[in-house]
Amino acid sequence: MGSNRLTGIVKLALVVGSLQLGSIGLAQADTTILNVSYDPTRELYKEFNAAFAEKWQADTGETVTIQTSHGGSGKQARSVIDGLEADVVTLALEADIDAIAAATSKIPPDWKTRFENNSSPYTSTIVFLVRKGNPKGVKDWGDLVREDIQVITPNPKTSGGARWNFLAAWAWARAANGGDDAKAQEYVAQLFKHVPVLDTGARGATTTFVQRGLGDVLLAWENEAYLSLEELGPDNFEIVTPSISIKAEPPVALVDGNVDSKGTRKVAEAYLNYLYSDVGQKIAAKHYYRPFKPELADPQDTARFADVKLVTIDEFGGWKEAQPKFFADGGMFDQIYKPGQ
Amino acid sequence: MAFRSSSTRWQFRQPSVIPGFGLALGVTLTWLTLIVLIPLSGLIWRSSGLGWSKFFALASDERTVNALTISFGTAFVAAVINLVFGVVLAWVLVRYRFPGKRVIDAMVDLPFALPTAVAGIALTTLYAPNGWIGSLLEPLGIKIAFTPAGIVVALVFVGLPFVVRTVQPVMEEIDKEVEEAAATLGASRYQTISRVLLPGLLPAGLTGFALAFARGVGEYGSVIFIAGNLPYVSEIAPLLIIIRLEEFNYPAATAIAAVMLLISFMMLLVINTIQSWSRRRYGYGA
């Protein structure tokens, strides 16, 4: 027993010692930055981070480690507000970054103007994922309120992607009814009567549709839909692109408050700028995001995107107006979900 | 068995073989304050920033009331189911010998150890309309997953060990002779169970019930996958708290949390009162 404990202590001392040495080694050569992102960007940033680390090493001789945290976009924003030391945020919604800017002084209010294309290096849109052969013959948004159709979408209250879904449906209905917002609201209310399950996030909704076999149509990010197709085999599902959809612009921002205190501004800035480079644009297109500069990406990647009329968030007055109007407590979503209406 | 006469009941310093009562009490109070009281008072403090009228408006909001009803209702049903089957399980584990008993005994604790989200995903896979169990129930018109029934299933799962583990030791204390005495005095089996055994188990059973109930009210991870999360149908209060947080509406989130805390506290108080009454009445129970 006694000798056992002694070797235990020796081992512990060794472990502590090696940790100490390790951290000294790290402090000299390595910079670490943290990218706080949302759920469906896992694969994209895995590849991009490796590419950037290589590029940074080649340019400056310094080693950089990029940590990435993924989760629901709103939850991620809340973590940053509550003190998670993100160097950059790459979230699903402008409104989430606005929330960080409003709640802390770590991001300036004009963050959107600091990078090209409203700080969105890549965009996406909302499409329908249906079962192979499209058995219910779903073509466009109008089909989704048919008697025999069940729609899977996450909860707009908890999921950034679901807010894009909601607005895309709204945009179609408004256009179909000559710009009538009341008719659009009626349509969206109808649509949500066909939703049997509200998952809390986009990945959860995909699981419900794919694994549990629930529903006829999944409203999904275009990149998630293609990814599901790739992962699960094109034998089971296909993608239907509606006539009108929304241009989903997931933005990126530098968290000034954190990079200044950590001394990582230069590398964090370079990291975000690299998203706009040919390498960044190529990787984005490869992972089914629509690149901001399609001419830089591989033509066979960009050729995969179907032509669709895309409305932008500006038609809803931007996120600063849309967020409280549609998704805040008592907003449009709450109104259409009141019982007995 | 601990026995306190009423004269020593209010004595502050209890003689004990363990030394250092002052130190022990000090550590206890400090620890409780740091770990429990400060976070909870933070909750109250944050929701008190709302002001009473706004607090009441949020707490009496239709959606909040609905979510609270679902949370407390499903937790209650699940705790009742757990009480009945937990006692039966404990009974079997204490009174019978059979092969694999130790394995089954160990399995009771699994819901304690398993991350609840994993349990939730597993249960949803089973009970979804295309799952093993769900596909059998579907033709009968019974839907478990994505209905309040699914929430009950998840809560029964996470709450089961509480009842078994509180009832088990008390049951071990009841001597077999008590049953035999009842039998020799001419009691029927039903009478033996209802008049002799169950009253003695009541305090422990209620403790287990209270623990399972409290756990069910606060449960999030396992429920969120199986519930379907439809507002007014299967939206639990913890999810509504998360939704308020996603809206960056911290005061509203803490208001709902404070209401939950208050209701839970009152229910535990009631159960504790019943328990101490039945302990005095029947004398069993730890």
Q: What is the pLDDT of residues A180-208, one digit of tens each?
A: 999 999 999 999 999 999 998 888 898 89
The larger pLDDT score, comparing residue B245 to residue A27, is at B245
Residues in chain B closer than 8 A to A198 (CB atoms): 228-231
Q: Is A158 on the interface with B (CB under 8 A)?
A: yes
* End-to-end Cα separation, chain B, in angstroms: 7
- pLDDT classification of A306: cutoffs 50, 70, 90: confident
Q: Output Rg (C-alpha) for chain A, integer angstroms.
A: 23
Sign of CA dihedral B146, B148, B153, B159: positive
How confident is residue A7, by pLDDT bands cut at 50, 70 and 90? low
Q: For the residues B64-84, what does the mean pLDDT come to?
A: 95
**Under an 8 A CB cutoff, do A200 and B249 touch?**
no
pLDDT band at A246; cut points 50, 70, 90: very high
What are the tokens at A215? 């529903």
Q: What is the DSSP letter of A341?
A: -
Is A158's CB within 8 Å of B243's CB? yes
Q: pLDDT at position B61, please?
A: 85
Question: Each residue of A14-27: b (16+ CB within 10 Å) or e?
Answer: eeeeeeeeeeeeee
Does residue A304 register a pLDDT over 60? yes
Q: How many CB pairs under 8 A join A and B?
A: 66
CB contact under 8 A, B229 and A200: yes
Q: Name residue A31's beta-bridge partners.
A: A64
Q: CA A240, CA A228: separation in Å to the nearest integer?
A: 13
pLDDT at A16 over 60: no
Amino acid at A227: L
Token couple for A38: 């949302």
pLDDT score, position B14: 61
| pLDDT higher than 70, residue A10 | no
From A46-60, A132-146, B257-271, the region with the lowest mean pLDDT: B257-271
Structure tokens of A190?
């109808």
Taking a contact as any Cβ pair under 8 Å apart, which residues of chain A between 102 and 131 contact chain B?
Answer: 103
Q: Average pLDDT over chain A, rounded to whole?
A: 88
Rounded alpha-carbon distances, angstroms, from residue B219 to A183, B50, B65, B74:
39, 26, 17, 11
When CB atoms are compared, the residue of B224, B247, B252 closest to A157 is B247
Which residue in A has a C-alpha nearest to residue B235's C-alpha? A198
Q: Compute the distance between CA of residue A122 and CA of residue A124 in angstroms, rounded to an integer.
A: 7
Which residues make Cβ contacts (< 8 Å) with residue B230, sequence separation at least 6? A195, A196, A197, A198, B146
Q: What is the pLDDT of residue A8?
A: 57
pLDDT at B39 over 90: no
Return the residue in B234, B247, B254, B256 with the most chain A beta carbons within 10 A, the one to mutate for interface testing: B247
Does B125 touch chain A if contact means CB atoms closer than 8 Å? yes
DSSP A306: P
pLDDT of A155 > 70? The answer is yes
Residue A91 identity: L
Q: How large is the average pLDDT for residues B86-112?
A: 91
- Out of A158, A329, A338, the one facing B242 most closely (by C-beta) is A158
Which of the four pLDDT bands, split at 50, 70 and 90, describes residue B277? confident
Considering only CB atoms, B229 lies closest to which of A74, A199, A329, namely A199
Cα angle value A232/A238/A244 (rounded, 5°):
130
Highest mean pLDDT pick, A26-30, A233-237, A282-286? A282-286
Alpha-carbon gap, residue A340 to B10, rounded angstroms? 57
Q: Does A2 score more than 80 pLDDT?
A: no
Task: Note whether A72 contacts B131, CB cutoff 8 Å.
Answer: no
Q: Which of B143, B234, B248, B250 to mutate to test the interface with A (most CBs of A within 10 A)?
A: B248
> CB–CB of B125 and A200 under 8 A?
no
| DSSP state at residue A212 | S
Predicted confidence at residue B199, as pLDDT, reads: 85
Q: Let me know: does A27 contact A246? Beta carbons within 8 Å.
A: no
Residue A274: per-residue pLDDT: 96
CA-nearest residue to A73 within chain B is B246
Burial (0-12, 13-18, 19+ Cβ within 10 Å), A106:
buried
- The pLDDT confidence band at residue A21, using thresholds 50, 70 and 90, is very low
Q: What is the C-alpha separation between B27 and B13, in angstroms, rounded?
A: 16
Q: Which of the 8 DSSP states describes residue A316?
A: G
